Structure 1
C-alpha cells in the first residue's frame, strides 16, 4: 500500500505531495505512477476522460480507498473537506444543522450562521433542504465544507447538475470563497471552460498519469473570446483527444 502520511503541517511547503502513486482494482491499474504537488492556497483543476482515474485520485486524497491495492507516496493534511456533485444534505436536518454537522464547541452555530451568510443564505438557517433549489443546496454544501476551514478542499464535479446560468454564479461564488478562506483546491471536472474559469493550474489525467500541467495566467474575470483563453482551451482539448475548432465546445465528447 502507499505510504499515506496524513497530518502535513502549515510549515510544509506543499499541501499535497504525491510520488509514484499507484492504485489498482483487480488487474486494472487506474493510477500508474502519478506524481503531483499542490501548493497552499493553489486552485488546481483536473480534467480527464471517463475512467482516467480522476475520482480514484480524489478518494485517495480524502483517505477513502483503504481497500484499494496500490503503492507510492501520498502526503496530505488531516483537515480535508469534500464537495460532491450531489449536495448530500440530510433531509431531516434544517440548513444550520446540515452546515454544523460534526462541529463541536460553543461557537459552532455562530460559525454555521456566518458560513450560510457567506453563500448568500443568511436568514435561511431554519429552512429545510427540500425548500431549496439545486443551486441553493449546493451553496449549503459549500458552506458546510468551508465552515471547517480545511487546508484542502476536494470538489468532485460540484456544479455538473446545475443549469448554465447557475453554474456561472457558482463559479464566481467559489472563487470568492476560496480567495477568502485560502484552502488548496483540487477540482475534478469534465468541463474545459469551467477549469479555465476557476483554476490557477489545469491538469489532464490520462492512463493514470498527469499528461499535461498547464498554468492559467489570465486575469479575472477571464475573457472567453480572448486569444490566450482560446489557445489554452485548444491545447487542453487536444490533450483530451478532442479534434475540432475551440469554439464548438466538443469537450462533452471527451467526457
Structure 2
C-alpha cells in the first residue's frame, strides 16, 4: 500500500484498521481538524469525546468517506467494509424492518442474514413491521442490525443513543457491547457522555480545537462499575481534558 501525501485510500494493512496521519479539514480559515494522527486496531473500541464544535462529527464523517474536502498533507486509510450509525435511525418509512436492514446488501442470503441480525438485537418476529410501529429504542436496534449485518471491519457511530431515554440507553449499551464482542469490528463512537465512553470503550480520545489532547486506555474489566475508584479516576482525567474540574463537590467548566 503506497504512502501518498494527501491521499484517501482503502486500508489493506493487518496492523491497523484505521490510519490517519496529518489529517486536516478547514472551513474557511478555521482548521476544524488540525493535523490529526490516529490509529485504530482491529476489534478495538475507541470513544471520541469533546466539546460541541470540537470536530468530533467532522472526523467521523471523514472516516465514513462522507466528506471529500479533507486536505493538507494528511493521509486517511479506512477499510472498504465499514458502516455508520447516526443519532437518528434513518430508517426508510416506506420499507418494512427487514427491508431496511438488508438495504443495499447484495447477497443471495441477504434475507436470512437480515433475520439473524434482527434476532441478534432482540427483534426476531418484527421483520414485517413498519418503522412507525417501533419505539425509538427499537428503531435504533434496527439501525444497529443494519450496521452489523454486513460484518463491517469498521463501525462508526455518531451519538447513536443521544435521543434515547436513560433506561433504554443503558440497555443499548449492554447490547452494543455484547454484539461488538461477538462480531469484533473496530469501533469509533462519538459521544458527549463521558460515562458512556468509559463504559464501552477500550480507549477514549478527547478532541479539542481540532486536535487530540487526550488518548487514554481504559484498562477495566467489563461490565464496568461506575463507582469503582479506577472508573472515577478515569472520569476525572477525561473531564479535566474537557476543561471541567471539581470545585465544592460539583463539576465546574473552565471559561
Question: Normalized against structure 1, the TM-score is what?
Answer: 0.94
- Quote the residue 1:75 is aligned against: 77
Contact residue 25 and residue 70 of structure 2 kept, 8 A: yes
Check 1:92–1:83 CA distance in 2 against 1; reply closer, same or farther (3 A cut): same
- Quote the residue 1:5 is aligned against: 9
Of 200, 208, 211, 1:209 maps to 211
Of 209, 222, 225, 2:224 maps to 222
The Cα shift of 1:232 comes to: 0.5
Contact residue 2 and residue 22 of structure 1 kept, 8 A: no
Contact residue 24 and residue 70 of structure 1 kept, 8 A: no
**2-structure distance, mates of 1:109, 1:82:** 20
Aligned CA RMSD, in angstroms, stands at 1.7
The Cα shift of 1:180 comes to: 0.8
Unpaired runs of at least 5, structure 1: none
Contact residue 50 and residue 208 of structure 2 kept, 8 A: yes
Contact residue 233 and residue 246 of structure 1 kept, 8 A: no
Unpaired runs of at least 5, structure 2: none
Of 135-144 and 57-66, the range deviating more from structure 2: 57-66
Aligned residues: 250
Aligned: 1:129 with 2:144: no
Question: Normalized against structure 2, the TM-score is what?
Answer: 0.94
Written as runs of structure 1 = structure 2, the 5 A alignment for 1:32-181 is 32-181=34-183
The Cα shift of 1:143 comes to: 0.1
Contact residue 84 and residue 157 of structure 2 kept, 8 A: yes
Moved beyond 4 Å, runs of 4+: 245-248
**1-structure distance, mates of 2:169, 2:248:** 21
Of 161-170 and 62-71, the range deviating more from structure 2: 62-71
**2-structure distance, mates of 1:45, 1:204:** 9
Instruction: Note the alpha carbon deviations across 1:98-152, whole angstroms, 9 max, x for none.
Output: 0000012220000000000000000000000000000000000000000011100
**1-structure distance, mates of 2:172, 2:247:** 27
Instruction: Note the alpha carbon deviations across 1:7-44, whole angstroms, 9 max, x for none.
Output: x23x5200000011111011111111110000000000
SS in 1 for 2:179: helix
The Cα shift of 1:211 comes to: 0.3
